[in-house]
A and B are shown apart, each in its own frame.
Chain A
Amino acid sequence: NAGVTQTPKFQVLKTGQSMTLQCAQDMNHNSMYWYRQDPGMGLRLIYYSASEGTTDKGEVPNGYNVSRLNKREFSLRLESAAPSQTSVYFCASHFGREYTGELFFGEGSRLTVL
């Protein structure tokens, strides 16, 4: 049982390049999330998908887009990367109906934008 799997684990981009972070979960969870984590800061929500077919902005959505491809997969796209998007990105999932407990996180994707 893999849980939440993120790819790639590391990526270096030049300013203006685009890329997509992939996330997949095998727990049949309804809700999926993308966070960014910057040094000395907590997790900030970028976008989330409460259920298949829906996506909504979180706290820091500017510069990002998402796609909920199916129930398992939720991708995060940077259309034109900027140095301010250098961060560690975490995908998470949750069962998603009324609150039942924990978020399950992937191991993170470390992105550097030069």
Chain B
Amino acid sequence: GENVEQHPSTLSVQEGDSAVIKCTYSDSASNYFPWYKQELGKGPQLIIDIRSNVGEKKDQRIAVTLNKTAKHFSLHITETQPEDSAVYFCAAGSYNTNAGKSTFGDGTTLTVKP
């Protein structure tokens, strides 16, 4: 089955700096890569996703890049703000299988220091 590794497990940055979280996956059949943000005491919430036919996608201060050859994808957050502090999860899945069967990474705890 799919195996997703996520690094780093914790990340601390100063407000205004950039943050990068990286994930690798093992199954070349995976073609959908979402990122979820989980705030304390809440359930995860989708913040951005990318499909395998796209190399990069941006949404305001966040962007995701995908390298299918190397089987890795990354989340980039620019101009970080204290409200970006949360746990971020990557996941890898497939169009053709049930969405909720995606494999999740172990999460990255991002702390943005004011």
Contacts and interface: CB of A to CB of B under 8 A. Distances in A.
A48 B97 CA distance: 12
Interface stretch (A13-21, A38-46, A78-86): A38-46
Candidate in B6, B9, B43, B102 with the most chain A CB atoms within 10 angstroms: B43
Interface SS majority for chain A: loop
B44 A105 contact: yes
A102 B100 contact: no
The 3 closest A-B pairs by CB, nearest first: A105-B43, A42-B104, A102-B46
- SS class, residues of chain B in contact with chain A: mixed
Interface in B68-99: 89, 91, 93-96, 98-99
7 contacts: A31-B100, A42-B106, A45-B100, A99-B32, A103-B100, A105-B44, A107-B42
| Contact size range, B | 20 to 34
Contacts of A43: 44, 89, 104
Contacts of A4: 43
Given A40-B9, A40-B106, A40-B107, A92 B45 contact: no
A57 B53 CA distance: 30
Interface string B7-47: 00100000000000000000000001010100001111110
Contacts of A101: 46, 49, 99
Contacts of B9: 40
A50 B104 CA distance: 19
Interface of A: 4, 31, 33, 40-45, 48, 50, 58, 90, 92, 94, 96, 98-103, 105-108
A3 B28 CA distance: 33
Contacts of A50: 98
A96 B41 contact: no
Contacts of A58: 101
